[in-house]
Amino acid sequence: MTAGLILQTFQTVLAILLAPLLMGWVNQCRAWLQGRAAPPLTQPYRVIRKLFHKDAVLAHDAGPLFRFAPYILFACMALAAGIVPTIANDLPFSPAADVIALVGLFALARVFLALAAMDIGTAFGTLGARREMLISFLAEPALLMVFFTASLISHSTELPVIVETLAHKEFVIYPSMAFAAVAFWMVSTAENARIPIDNPTTHLELTMIHEAMILEYSARHLALIEWAVALKLFVYSALGIALFVPWGIAPAGDLAALPLAILALLAKMLAGGAGLAVLETLSAKMRLFRAPEFLGTAFMLAVLGMLTHFLLEA
């Protein structure tokens, strides 16, 4: 039990520390593909460090919710990182926090950020909050359907059990997971404010969603939000690995497999970050009113995955 607690804490700390590095890798690959000079790989760390050393400027109408929302957002993402198996399957607290609780953590962080954006009463904050809640209203059901497909295969909603079923038993191809994988990618782009739903580098008031909610933040509050955004991307990437390419994650109690599991995680994150940069370079941001069609398609694909499992039992 003690070894499991240490390993779960280590995985959480590892995710928190590596999250800005993944964001820097994606930005670097995107710059290379667009023919621009790429920023340093450690640029997100430098930005976060610089923001922590600045003095915070708060709006006159900012209430306690506006001040505490960045801390709640970061705490939710840190807890989510502890639920997802990144390098090992030994998670003692997994029975208390399954995939449904994971979706709840994402929703809790989003609600607090949206409420904080509306707390000071600016037009951009309210606009971004309304758009964010529209996206989440459509994305969360599709994400739950993806999880239910994997849960039906493993007969459990705990991620370690799902990974154990998909990776550490006899090799089986599940056609239902192919539909779920496409749906998960579509939901992941929406949840992380990436192209084609949102552009993380834009500040155009007619198109921005996530950026509109954090325009009034500065210094340590903005640093925590930026770190939490990077951590959310890392958690979604680790979640995609755990569900669809879980090979390499160390089984529970197998400490000798940890070095190989860390190398496998780094290799998958590098490949996933490069793939995300390629897709964002080849795609264009769609109109906001087409987002329901995009996420509706994700929900349909996730439901098709569940129906395929019921019909083919695979």
CA pair distance 35, 230, nearest whole angstrom: 24
What are the pLDDT digits (tens) for 220-233?
Answer: 999 999 999 999 99
Is the pLDDT score of 163 beyond 70? yes
Q: Quote the pLDDT of residue 201.
A: 75
Confidence tier at 97 by pLDDT (50, 70, 90): confident
Side-chain-facing half-sphere of 48: CA atoms under 13 Å: 19
Q: Residue 167 sits in which domain range?
A: 2-312
**Which tokens in the block code for residue 3?**
């070894």
With a pLDDT cut of 90, the percent of the chain lying above it is: 51
What are the pLDDT digits (tens) for 255-267?
Answer: 788 889 999 999 9
Q: Quote the pLDDT of residue 204.
A: 67
214 phi and psi, to 5 degrees? -115, 15
What are the pLDDT digits (tens) for 98-133?
Answer: 889 999 999 999 999 999 999 888 888 888 888 889
Confidence tier at 172 by pLDDT (50, 70, 90): low
CA pair distance 220, 54, nearest whole angstrom: 7
Between 141 and 59, residue with greater pLDDT: 141
3-class secondary-structure state, position 156: coil
| Among candidate residues 70, 18, 10, the one with its CA nearest the CA of residue 44 | 18
Question: Looking at the chain, how many residues does it have?
Answer: 314
Average model confidence (pLDDT) across the chain: 89
The predicted model gives 14-40 an average pLDDT of 92
Tokens 């449904």, residue located: 100
Domain count, the chain: 1
Confidence tier at 167 by pLDDT (50, 70, 90): confident
244 phi and psi, to 5 degrees? -115, -25
User: What pTM did the predictor assign?
Assistant: 0.94
Confidence tier at 203 by pLDDT (50, 70, 90): low
Between 198 and 301, residue with greater pLDDT: 301
Q: Quote the pLDDT of residue 257.
A: 83
CA pair distance 165, 247, nearest whole angstrom: 11
CA 59 to chain centroid, in Å, comes to: 29
Q: Quote the pLDDT of residue 283.
A: 85
